[in-house]
Amino acid sequence: MSMIEIRNVTKRYGAATVVDKVSMSVEKGSITVIVGTSGSGKSTLMRMINRLVPITEGEIFVGGQNVMDVEVTELRRRIGYAIQGHGLFPHRTVAQNIATVPQLLDWDSTRISRRVEELLGLFNLDPATFADKYPHQLSGGQQQRVGVARALAAEPELLLMDEPFGALDPVIRGKAQDDLLAIQKQFGTTIVLVTHDMDEAFHLGNQIAVMSQGRLLQCSTPEKILTEPADPFVQQLTGTSDRALKLMSLLPLQESMEPAKSGLAYALPQSLSLRDALAEMIWQGVDEAAVQDGEKAPVGSISMTRLLELGRKACN
């Protein structure tokens, strides 16, 4: 069932058409990533979903309801929204920031504090340390996580995120992405996320929407975007030289293992992608590694030769 249906939506500012007849749908419980160059209409398209930007033409349905038929305050409470630069209230503590929407919804105080603690825990922020701090006392990465926690506080069915990790350095960014994936899995939240980082798009997206000059060029699975680009611009955006590595990042090691062997000095978890397995093996300087399950029991092995073969096969 789809959580969002966008039908022929257009946004014009005066004579300028900044979103041009876009149609797409977003499945419940999935992550859709919108990518494209700066000024291509990504933020505008996203902001029409929660009516921060009025729609010029076309229709948007959320949970089967036309957004124009829902009261705007009601719509925004149902839809979480997280933006770059977090937008935390500077004079409210971390706990008070996260509690913003639940308070508007009149949740009782026990339920609110339970939810705040749960979210802080999920984002690896120890409640005893962080609940009573003010935003300026946190690092950029911590502020960003509080921003996302706040957007998730009232258990929204839908979360819109506009370049939420844009300001973070690559290591913290990867960590924030993994946290988001874990939380999305746990709550089954539907997410639409805007980014200009293609690696982020491939890491997070079940579906990738590519925009250029207000038009939606393609909206498909990451695999299809790589292997069947609908437009030269899509092909250019996904790069050509590292296409093999991108494809390998979508393939689970678990499904490509060779039989287990004894005597291998180095082991990899089966949850890795082929790309991460390759990176680990280059870094560790090994030609062959054991593969383990979550309990560290051996379940297979993988060789460099096999990885390269799989990489080549993925490109054909």
Q: What's the angle, vertex CA 46, arms to CA 201 and CA 142, rounded to 5? A: 60
DSSP code, position 11: E
CA distance 117 to 25: 34
Q: Taking CB positions, which residue lies at the least distance from Mg ion?
A: 43
Pick out residues in 187-216 that bind Mg ion (CB under 5 A): none
Cβ distance to ligand ADP smaller for residue 42 or 246? 42
In the complex with Mg ion, the residue whose CB is nearer, 43 or 220, is: 43
Q: Shortest distance, CB of residue 54 to ligand ADP, whole angstroms? A: 10
Choose between 157 and 199: whose C-beta lies nearer to Mg ion: 199
Which of Mg ion, ligand ADP, none interacts with 13 (beta carbon under 5 to 8 A by kind)?
ligand ADP
Q: Which of residues 25-64 bind Mg ion (CB under 5 A)?
A: 43
**Amino acid in position 38:** S
Nearer to Mg ion, 44 or 220 (CB): 44
Q: Which is nearer to ligand ADP, 237 or 248 (CB)?
A: 237
| 266 binding partner (options ligand ADP, Mg ion, none; Cβ < 5 to 8 Å by kind) | none
173: amino acid identity, one letter: R
Q: Smallest distance, Å, CB 18 to ligand ADP?
A: 3
Whole-number minimum distance, CB 11 to ligand ADP, in Å? 8
- CB 162 → Mg ion: shortest distance, Å? 6
Cβ-based neighbours of 157, under 8 Å, separated by 6 or more: 3, 28, 63, 78, 79, 189, 190
- Between 41 and 156, CB nearer to ligand ADP: 41
Residue 18 binds: one of Mg ion, ligand ADP, none (C-beta under 5 to 8 A by kind): ligand ADP
How many residues of this chain interact with Mg ion, rule: CB under 5 A? 1
What b-and-e string marks burial along 208-220, b requiring 16 or more CB atoms within 10 Å of the CB? bbbbbebbbbbbb
Considering only residues 81 through 110, tell me which ones interact with Mg ion, judged by CB under 5 A. Answer: none
For ligand ADP, the binding residues (CB under 6 A) are: 13, 18, 36, 38-44
What whole-number distance in Å separates Cα of residue 113 and Cα of residue 97? 12
One-letter amino acid for residue 159 of the chain: L
DSSP designation for 288: E
| Min separation Cβ 18 and Mg ion, Å | 11
Distances (CA, A) of 136 to 90, 97, 141, 143, 163: 7, 13, 12, 8, 21
Given a contact cutoff of 8 angstroms between Cβ atoms, the answer to whether 190 and 160 are in contact is no
3-class DSSP state of 268: strand
Residue 79 Cβ, how far from Mg ion at the closest point, in Å?
Answer: 17
- CA angle, corner 294, sides to 292 and 295, nearest 5? 85
Cβ closer to Mg ion: 33 or 99?
33
Strand 31-36 relative to strand 190-194: parallel, antiparallel, unpaired?
parallel
Which residue ranges make up the site for Mg ion (CB under 5 A)?
Answer: 43
